[in-house]
Amino acid sequence: MIRFVLSLALVSAAVAAVPEHPLATLHRAHPRLIATPADFARLQSLVKSDPLAARLYAGLKRHADRALSQPTVVHRLIGPRLLDQSRLCLDRVYTLAMVYRIGGQKQYLDRAVTELRAAAAFPDWNPSHFLDVAEMTHAFAIGYDWLYADLSPEDRATFRRAIQEKGLDQAIPLYKSHGWWTKSTFNWSQVCNGGMTLGALAIADEDPTRAEFIVRAAAQSIPLALASYAPEGGWAEGPGYWDYATSYTTYYLAALQTALGTDFGLSEMPGFAHAGDFRIYFQGPAGTFNYADAHSGAGIASEMFWLARRFHQPVFAWDELRHLEHGGRLPALDLLWYQPEGQSPKAAGWPLVRMFRGVDVAFLRTDWEDPRALWIGVKGGDNKANHSHLDLGSFVLDKYGVRWASDLGSDNYNMPGYFGKQRFTYYRLATQSHNTVLIDGENQDTKAAAPMILRDGVAVIDLSRAYPGKITRFIRTVRLDAGTAIFRDEIEAAQPVEALWGMVTEANVTLDGSHARLQKGGESLDAEIRSPEGAVFAVVPTDQPPPQNPNRGTRKLVVRLNGKITKTTIEVALR
């Protein structure tokens, strides 16, 4: 309740800062969205003088060259979504437009125009799944703005009309009727408000009525989601949706700054300055703590460069620079927001153990820079959070550069009822697949929350509400002790229950009563049951039938107790 009241106060303050006529300071010249003419002039010099910037530009140019011969986007839905086509258009427009603005070769301009013409001819941008509209509007906003001087009058009119009719006009009734995403506290808010604002700002001098309405409505809507970063930058939807939400937040704030000279103070909302902290902590030596609908890879996050500059935090730049060193696909905004220097968390004196209040997720590690370090991500949290799984108390663990305890991540979004009534019947989303304690083989309560505290470097999670009617007290503690990870579960029940401790692993497992050895990639990890007496390790399968992911190469290491319990302490050490 306290956090809800605080969030309302934050939102009210942010809304109050939006002026009645937000376009009064509009920069009328193009480009004005995210990049300015001065930015492109700077980049033309940068790619000649800075070796990494030159490599980024060469990678972008190769990507642009491949796009020259590819077919354009098509109006094709996968399940209920046009999203893959919206994102393809967005990626191509950014890449082609950036390469054109730096190098000036006309074939990149022509290919970007061809892409935009194809999408402009779509019958719609799939407003029934509004993310599709938002991302396509974003693509058109960038194409219209960055290429404006070299577009024909006919193409300008076509692209402007597409932004108006297929983008902004689909959002205006939703803002007026307070449609659900306009009141959202998660990623849909940043994506939809961000995409609409970019579209509005792109054509604001030519269509001020639409643009002013959208800019003001979005600035009143988005604080609801920005308040979710409070108090310390955590994100309840997990690492994958942290990236989606935070990237669109930075697109939105950057565009406001370049187009209007202000972000209405929205970047100063509590917690947002530390959003980059969360990304750095949720990465271990072998992957991320990929709870909720997320995958284990971190990948690149251009927004870390923007956050580094906005909040004068070189550790954020360090994180993005280390990912760029590994190569791969590099988006245009990594070059635009590029910063050549960073500082490691170790050099900055960041603590090895940290909990993020608000989302109740903690991270424990033995070293910042040793790739063989022991690292744990563990969560309490709230099963009602968007994209959540029933995973209160779950953890992942890395050591020796190997992921030993895994989260299987999301499954296919297009399976029946994935976001509906069947959601928690699927293995990957159910409690059964997570690294916690399963009670009587049943799911946790879908409405349960598990508060966490950090006490002397120990994560303490209260899971008592996860199994109402069965468990009266359940405290999980997670700590590190001289290179050993220790998980302790104190459980009390009203009536005898079956308690099954477990963790999913990709390792091969050798069992020996209360001991087990996990082996993977030439490394090994020993597991020991320290309590209760008589408990033994076992392995249970994780395979599932179609249409679910079969989970090949994984299994679950479990602790079997000697019968049902009303009170027990399960303690497992991994070293």
Instruction: Report pLDDT digits (tens) over 398-443.
Output: 999 999 999 999 999 999 999 999 999 999 999 999 999 999 999 9
User: Rounded to whole angstroms, how far apart are CA atoms 556 and 208?
Assistant: 59
Is residue 2 over pLDDT 50?
Answer: no
Write the pLDDT tens digit of every residue in 355-399: 999 999 999 999 999 999 999 999 999 999 999 999 999 999 999
Write the pLDDT tens digit of every residue in 50-59: 999 999 999 9
Cα angle for residues 35, 24, 135 (degrees, 5° grid):
45
pLDDT band at 3 (very low <50, low <70, confident <90, very high): low
Tokens of 374: 């022991």
Expressed in angstroms, the distance from the first to the final Cα of the chain is 40
Q: Taken in order 378, 384, 389, 392, is the CA torsion positive or negative?
A: positive
User: Rounded to whole angstroms, how far apart are CA atoms 17 and 219?
Assistant: 9
Average pLDDT over residues 126-138: 98
Q: So what's the pLDDT on residue 11?
A: 62
Tokens of 338: 């590029």
Is residue 325 over pLDDT 70?
Answer: yes
User: Rounded to whole angstroms, how far apart are CA atoms 539 and 518?
Assistant: 11
Q: So what's the pLDDT on residue 330?
A: 76
Q: Which amino acid is at 467?
A: Y
Tokens of 47: 């790619």
Q: So what's the pLDDT on residue 7?
A: 55
Cβ atoms of 82 and 105 within 8 Å: the answer is: no
Q: So what's the pLDDT on residue 13?
A: 59
Q: So what's the pLDDT on residue 250?
A: 98
Tokens of 488: 């302790």
pLDDT band at 4 (very low <50, low <70, confident <90, very high): very low
Is residue 8 over pLDDT 70?
Answer: no
pLDDT band at 328 (very low <50, low <70, confident <90, very high): low
Per DSSP, what are the bridge partners of residue 453?
Answer: 460
Alpha helices in 203-301 (DSSP H): 208-221, 223-226, 239-260, 275-281
Buried (b) or exposed (e) across 163-199, using 16+ Cβ within 10 A? bbebbbebbeebbeeeeebbebbbbbbbbbbbbbbbb
CA distances 520 to 290, 374, 405, 509, 542, Å, are: 20, 15, 12, 9, 18
Per DSSP, what are the bridge partners of residue 519?
Answer: 508, 524
Q: So what's the pLDDT on residue 326?
A: 77
Supply the pTM of this predicted model: 0.95
Per DSSP, the chain holds a count of helices (H) and strands (E) of 17, 21
Write the pLDDT tens digit of every residue in 450-502: 999 999 999 999 999 999 999 999 999 999 999 999 999 999 999 999 999 99
Write the pLDDT tens digit of every residue in 255-280: 999 999 999 999 999 999 999 999 99
Class of the CATH-defined domain 2-17+31-348:
mainly alpha
Which DSSP symbol is given to 445? P
User: Rounded to whole angstroms, how far apart are CA atoms 344 and 302?
Assistant: 17
Cβ atoms of 435 and 379 within 8 Å: the answer is: no
Helix, coil or strand: residue 62: helix
Cα torsion 413, 418, 419, 423 to 10°: value is -140
| Sequence-ordered list of residues with C-beta below 8 angstroms from that of 550, at least 6 positions apart, any chain | 543, 544
Helix, coil or strand: residue 555: strand
Which DSSP symbol is given to 229? G
Q: Is the peptide bond before 231 cis (omega within 30 degrees of 0)?
A: yes
| Sequence-ordered list of residues with C-beta below 8 angstroms from that of 73, at least 6 positions apart, any chain | 85, 88, 89, 92, 115, 118, 119
Question: 353-574: which CATH architecture?
Answer: Distorted Sandwich (2.70)
Helix, coil or strand: residue 354: strand
Per DSSP, what are the bridge partners of residue 571?
Answer: 488, 531
Q: Is the peptide bond before 416 cis (omega within 30 degrees of 0)?
A: no
| Cα 283 versus chain centre, distance | 12
Average pLDDT over residues 342-351: 98
Cβ atoms of 263 and 256 within 8 Å: the answer is: yes
Write the pLDDT tens digit of every residue in 74-95: 999 999 999 999 999 999 999 9
Tell me the average pLDDT of the chain. 96
Average pLDDT over residues 12-23: 77
Cβ atoms of 141 and 201 within 8 Å: the answer is: yes
Cβ atoms of 439 and 421 within 8 Å: the answer is: no
Cα torsion 183, 187, 193, 195 to 10°: value is -160
Q: Which amino acid is at 42?
A: R
Q: So what's the pLDDT on residue 17?
A: 78
Tokens of 212: 């002013």
Alpha helices in 104-238 (DSSP H): 106-120, 130-146, 153-162, 169-176, 187-202, 208-221, 223-226
Crossing angle of the two packed helices 83-103 and 106-120, in degrees rounded to 10: 150
Question: How many Cβ atoms are within 10 Å of 290's Cβ, its own excluded?
Answer: 23
User: Rounded to whole angstroms, how far apart are CA atoms 199 and 221?
Assistant: 16
Alpha helices in 359-414 (DSSP H): none
User: Rounded to whole angstroms, how far apart are CA atoms 492 and 471?
Assistant: 6
Cβ atoms of 353 and 454 within 8 Å: the answer is: yes
Map out the domains of the chain as residue ranges.
2-17+31-348, 353-574
pLDDT band at 1 (very low <50, low <70, confident <90, very high): very low
Cβ atoms of 349 and 360 within 8 Å: the answer is: no
